[in-house]
Structure 1
Amino acid sequence: MSQLAAFTSDDIRRVTFFKRDELTSDLICCEISCEERYWIFHEEMDKWHPLLALLGSLPNFAANWYERVSQPPFARSRFIAFDRPTP
């Protein structure tokens, strides 16, 4: 059980990647949904790489998320990389 901020890998229910159009570039973002809360991170945050390491350890996490979200540039895109089945 890895931990980042106020949640652990066991708490994560859904991981959705998306990008924001920042006029001259896209900002890759990630929404982490837990039981009753959610957090949004982006690629310019200090915790981005530790977050990706944590997410990569989730069972059935879609490792191809970056390709699915980043292309084509400036196009709206959302991709659910992890969705834990409800018990």
Structure 2
Amino acid sequence: MSTGLPLEMAVIQHVVFYKRDELTTDLICCEILMASGQTLWFHEEMPNWNDVVAQIELLEGFPQDWRSHVIQPPFAECRFMAYEKRAQ
């Protein structure tokens, strides 16, 4: 699946999900650290959010229940490391 983004699966170092308190709602966000040191940032209101999530969910060992670690309790950051590349 192509997202049209600079998202090279082989060079993803880690993926972190968290929530931002937007006063009346929470915004689920994702930071993806690449091997180059670049951090890509996405949030659930971006048009390509579903494509990005579908792609990173294919990473080896990626927990399919990551949302449950992030959504509760409301209005708390709930930072969750969903993927960390193992040293080879």
Fold-level match, TM-score > 0.5?
yes
For the residues of structure 1 that align with 2:7 and 2:28, how far apart are their CA atoms? 21
Deviation at 1:39? 0.7
CA root-mean-square deviation: 1.2
Runs of 5+ consecutive residues of structure 1 not aligned to the other structure: none
Provide TM-score, normalisation by structure 2: 0.91
Could you give the per-residue CA deviations for residues 32-68 of structure 1, whole angstroms, max 9, x where no partner exists?
0011211110000011000011011100001111010
Provide TM-score, normalisation by structure 1: 0.92
Deviation at 1:7? 2.4
Pair 1:27-2:27 in alignment: yes
The number of equivalent residue pairs is: 86
- Letter of the structure 2 residue corresponding to residue 86 of structure 1: A
Deviation at 1:86? 2.2
1:1-87 matched pairs, under 5 angstroms: 3-4=2-3, 5-35=5-35, 36-87=37-88
- What SS does the corresponding residue of 2:54 show, helix, strand or coil? helix
For the residues of structure 2 that align with 1:3 and 1:82, how far apart are their CA atoms? 20
For the residues of structure 1 that align with 2:79 and 2:2, how far apart are their CA atoms? 25
